[in-house]
Amino acid sequence: MKVIASLPRFLAGPSRASVSWLFLWCMASWLMPWYKVTPGITEAWFSSALGHSLAGRLWLLPLALAPCLLLLAQWRQWSWSARTSTGVFFAVAAWLIVQASLIGLHGTSPSMGAVFPLSTEGQTGLGWGGFISIIAMLGWLSEALADRGFCKGDRFASATIVFIVALLGLFVFFPIVKLSLMAFRSPDGLWSIAPFIERLTAQDLWRINCITAAPGRCGVVINSVTLGVLAATLSTLIGLGLALLVARTGFRFKRTLRAIAILPIITPPFVVGVALIVLFGRTGLVTTSIADWFGIVPTRWLYGMPGILMAQVLAFTPVTFLVLLGALEAINPSLEEASNTLGARPLTTFRKVTFPLLRPGLAAAFLLAFIESLSDFGNPLVLGGGFEVLSTKIFFAVVGARYDLGNAAALSLVLLVLTLTAFWLQARWVGRRSYITVTGRSDSGLAPALPKSIAWLTYGSVSLFILFTLGVYVIVMIGGFVNDIGRWDMTPTVRHLGTAFSVEWQQGSLQFYGSAWNSLKTTLLVSAIAAPLTTAIGILTAWLVARQNFMGKRQFEFGTMLSFAILGTVVGVYYVAAFNVPPVDITGTMAILIICFMFRNMPVGMRAGVAALAQIDRSMEEASQTLGATGARTFRQIVLPLVKPALFTAMVYSFVTAMTAVSAVIFLVSARHNMATAYIMGRVENGEYALAITYSTVLMIVMIICITAMSLIIGKRQLGRRKTEQPPVASHAAALP
Amino acid sequence: MSEFAIEFNEVVKDYGQHRAVDTINLAIRKGELVTFLGPSGCGKTTSLRLIAGLELPTSGQVLIQGKDVSQRPASERNVGMVFQSYALFPHMTVLDNVAYGPVIRGVKKAEAENQARTLLNQVGLTNLESRFPSELSGGQQQRVAVARAIVQQPDVMLFDEPLSNVDAKLRRRVRAEIRELQQRFGLTAVYVTHDQEEALAVSDRIIVMSAGKIEQIGTPEDLYDRPKNAFVADFIGDANLLTGVIQKGVFQVGSLRIPVDHQERPSVTISVRPERIRLSDINTETEANGIVLEATYLGSRMEYLIDMGHGMLLCSRPIEERRRKVREEVAIEVQPEDVSLID
Q: Which residues of B touch A629 (CB under 8 A)?
A: 75, 100, 104
Q: Write down which residue in B165, B197, B232 finishes a domain.
A: B232
At residue A249, the 3 state secondary structure works out as coil
Cβ-contact B43, B212 below 8 angstroms? yes
Interface contact A551, partner B, CB < 8 A: no
Q: Which residues of B touch A720 (CB under 8 A)?
A: 91, 132
Specify the CATH number for the domain of residue B126. Answer: 3.40.50.300
Among B55, B101, B134, beta carbon nearest to A628: B101
pLDDT at A341 over 80: no
Tell me which of B89, B109, B190 to substitute to probe the interface with A (most A C-beta atoms closer than 10 Å).
B89
> Cα separation of A135 and B27, whole Å?
44
The identity of residue A530, as a single letter, is A
Each residue of A250-277: pLDDT tens digit?
Answer: 777 777 777 777 787 788 878 888 888 8
Cβ-contact B314, B240 below 8 angstroms? yes
Q: Which residues of A touch B56 (CB under 8 A)?
A: 149, 152-153
Q: What share of chain B is helix, strand, coil (3-state, %, to 5)?
A: 30, 35, 35
> Cα separation of A47 and A123, whole Å?
13
Identify whether residues B212 and B310 lie together within a single domain.
Answer: no
Burial of A94 (0-12, 13-18, 19+ CB in 10 A): exposed
pLDDT at B231 over 50: yes
Tell me which of A626, A630, A640 to substitute to probe the interface with B (most B C-beta atoms closer than 10 Å).
A626
> Cα separation of B71 and A14, whole Å?
14
pLDDT at A601 over 80: yes
Among A149, A626, A724, beta carbon nearest to B56: A149
Q: Write down which residue in B205, B232, B259 finishes a domain.
A: B232
Identify whether residues B157 and B219 lie together within a single domain.
Answer: yes
Interface contact A554, partner B, CB < 8 A: no
Res. A320 pLDDT band, cuts 50 70 90: confident
> Cα separation of A153 and A276, whole Å?
58
> Cα separation of B251 and B267, whole Å?
10
Output DSSP code: residue A107. B
pLDDT at A344 over 70: yes
Cis peptide before A583 (omega within 30 of 0): yes
DSSP A406-468: HHHHHHHHHHHHHHHHHHHHHHHHH-S-------SS-----PPPPPHHHHHHHHHHHHHHHHH
Burial of A214 (0-12, 13-18, 19+ CB in 10 A): exposed
Each residue of B40-51: pLDDT tens digit?
Answer: 889 999 999 999
The pairs formed by A585-591 with CB atoms below 8 angstroms and a separation of 24 or more are A585/A36, A585/A124, A585/A125, A585/A126, A586/A125, A587/A668, A587/A670, A588/A670, A588/A672, A588/A673, A589/A673, A590/A522, A590/A525, A590/A526, A590/A673
Mean pLDDT of A681-709: 86
Q: What percent of chain A has pLDDT over 90?
A: 9
Burial of A330 (0-12, 13-18, 19+ CB in 10 A): middle
Interface contact A14, partner B, CB < 8 A: no
Specify the CATH number for the domain of residue B297. Answer: 2.40.50.140
Each residue of A321-338: pLDDT tens digit?
Answer: 888 888 887 777 777 777
Q: How many CB pairs under 8 A join A and B?
A: 97
The rounded Cα A571 to chain-centroid distance in angstroms is 9
Identify whether residues B192 and B251 lie together within a single domain.
Answer: no
* Least confident span in A17-26, A197-206, B32-41, B172-181: A197-206
The rounded Cα B324 to chain-centroid distance in angstroms is 34
How many residues are listed for chain B in this entry? Answer: 343
Mean pLDDT of A100-105: 74
Structural domains counted in chain B: 2
Q: CA geometry: angle at A109 spanning A108 and A115, to 5°?
A: 90
Domain residue extents for chain A: 2-104+123-148, 223-434+447-474, 490-733
Identify whether residues B279 and B176 lie together within a single domain.
Answer: no
Residue B182 Cα distances to A165, B153, B204, angstroms: 46, 12, 11
Compute the nearest-CA separation of A262 from chain B (Å).
30
Tell me what pLDDT residue A75 has: 76
Among all residues of chain B, which has the CA nearest to that of A641?
A: B91
Res. A736 pLDDT band, cuts 50 70 90: very low
- Compute chain B's Rg from CA coordinates: 25
pLDDT at A468 over 80: yes
pLDDT at B125 over 60: yes
Identify whether residues B155 and B202 lie together within a single domain.
Answer: yes
Tell me what pLDDT residue A438 has: 45
Among all residues of chain A, which has the CA nearest to that of B154?
A: A627
The pairs formed by A346-355 with CB atoms below 8 angstroms and a separation of 24 or more are A346/A448, A346/A449, A346/A450, A346/A451, A346/A452, A347/A451, A347/A453, A347/A454, A349/A448, A349/A451, A350/A450, A350/A451, A350/A454
Other CB atoms closer than 10 Å to residue A246's CB: what's the count? 21
Among B75, B90, B135, beta carbon nearest to A625: B75
User: Does A490-733 match A223-434+447-474 at the fold level?
Assistant: yes
CA dihedral A170, A173, A179, A184 (to 10 degrees): -130
Q: What are phi and psi of A629, to 5 degrees?
A: -80, 140
Each residue of A175-192: pLDDT tens digit?
Answer: 888 888 888 877 776 777
Tell me the angle at which helices A452-479 and A220-248 cross, rounded to the nearest 10 degrees: 110
Q: In what order do the strands lie in the sheet with B329-333?
A: B278-281, B329-333, B289-297, B301-307, B312-318
Pick the CATH number of A490-733 from 3.50.50.60, 3.40.50.1450, 1.10.287.3510, 1.10.3720.10: 1.10.3720.10
Other CB atoms closer than 10 Å to residue A114's CB: what's the count? 10
* Least confident span in A4-13, B153-162, B166-175: A4-13
Compute the nearest-CA separation of A642 from chain B (Å).
7
Q: Which residues of A touch B105 (CB under 8 A)?
A: 628
pLDDT at A495 over 60: yes
In terms of DSSP H, where are the helices of A566-687? 568-579, 590-614, 619-626, 631-634, 640-642, 644-660, 676-685
Tell me what pLDDT residue A12 has: 65
Output DSSP code: residue A725. P
Q: Write down which residue in B177, B207, B232 finishes a domain.
A: B232
Compute the nearest-CA separation of A711 from chain B (Å).
19
Q: Which residues of A touch B90 (CB under 8 A)?
A: 620, 642, 719, 722, 724
Q: Give the H or E element holding residue B76.
A: none
Cβ-contact B334, B319 below 8 angstroms? no
Q: Which residues of A touch B89 (CB under 8 A)?
A: 620, 623-624, 638
Instruction: Please name the CATH architecture into which domain A223-434+447-474 falls.
Output: Orthogonal Bundle (1.10)
Q: Which residues of B touch A719 (CB under 8 A)?
A: 90-91
Tell me what pLDDT residue B1 has: 60
* Least confident span in A112-116, A363-367, B293-297: A112-116
> Cα separation of A664 and A575, whole Å?
9
Q: Give the H or E element holding residue A17.
A: helix A16-31
Mean pLDDT of A476-500: 77
Identify whether residues B109 and B139 lie together within a single domain.
Answer: yes
- A497: region left, alpha or beta (phi > 0 left; psi from -120 to 50 alpha): alpha
Cβ-contact A498, A298 below 8 angstroms? no
Identify whether residues B9 and B139 lie together within a single domain.
Answer: yes
Q: Give the H or E element holding residue A100.
A: helix A81-102
Q: Which residues of A touch B84 (CB under 8 A)?
A: 619
- Interface residues of B toward A, Cβ cutoff 8 Å, are 52-56, 71-81, 83-85, 87-91, 100-101, 104-105, 132, 134-135, 148-149, 152, 158
Burial of B117 (0-12, 13-18, 19+ CB in 10 A): middle
Highest mean pLDDT among A291-295, A368-372, B189-193, B235-239: B189-193
The contacts of residue A84 (CB under 8 Å, 6+ apart) are: none
Identify whether residues B42 and B173 lie together within a single domain.
Answer: yes
The rounded Cα B88 to chain-centroid distance in angstroms is 25
Res. A432 pLDDT band, cuts 50 70 90: low
Burial of A551 (0-12, 13-18, 19+ CB in 10 A): exposed
Res. A508 pLDDT band, cuts 50 70 90: confident
Q: Which residues of B touch A725 (CB under 8 A)?
A: none
Residue A28 Cα distances to A31, A65, A139, B6, B123, angstroms: 6, 12, 13, 45, 55
> Cα separation of A235 and A252, whole Å?
22
Q: Which residues of B touch A625 (CB under 8 A)?
A: 53-54, 73-75
Each residue of B254-298: pLDDT tens digit?
Answer: 778 888 887 777 888 888 999 998 888 877 666 678 889 999 998
> Cα separation of A548 and A245, whole Å?
41
Residue A563 Cα distances to A160, A601, A663, B124, angstroms: 18, 9, 15, 54
Residue B132 Cα distances to A369, B78, B98, B104, angstroms: 43, 26, 12, 20
For residue B46, the enclosing domain spans 4-232
pLDDT at A705 over 80: yes
Burial of B106 (0-12, 13-18, 19+ CB in 10 A): exposed
Identify whether residues B216 and B261 lie together within a single domain.
Answer: no
Q: Is A720–B132 a contact, with Cβ atoms under 8 angstroms apart?
A: yes
The rounded Cα A490 to chain-centroid distance in angstroms is 39
Res. A431 pLDDT band, cuts 50 70 90: low
The pLDDT mean for chain B works out to 89
The pLDDT mean for chain A works out to 79
> Nearest to residue A137, comparing CAs of A224, A213, A23, A39?
A23
Each residue of A387-415: pLDDT tens digit?
Answer: 888 888 888 888 777 777 888 888 888 88
> Nearest to residue A730, comparing CAs of A704, A701, A710?
A710
Identify whether residues B226 and B246 lie together within a single domain.
Answer: no
> Cα separation of A346 and A447, whole Å?
12
The answer for A 73-112 residues in CB contact with B (under 8 A) is none
Cβ-contact A376, A147 below 8 angstroms? no
Mean pLDDT of A627-646: 88
> Cα separation of A551 and A553, whole Å?
6
Interface contact A717, partner B, CB < 8 A: no
Q: Is A626–B84 a contact, with Cβ atoms under 8 angstroms apart?
A: no
Identify whether residues B75 and B125 lie together within a single domain.
Answer: yes
Q: Compute the half-sphere exposure of residue B55: CA atoms within 13 Å on the CB side of its CA.
A: 20
Tell me what pLDDT residue A727 has: 39
Q: Give the H or E element holding residue A262.
A: helix A254-266
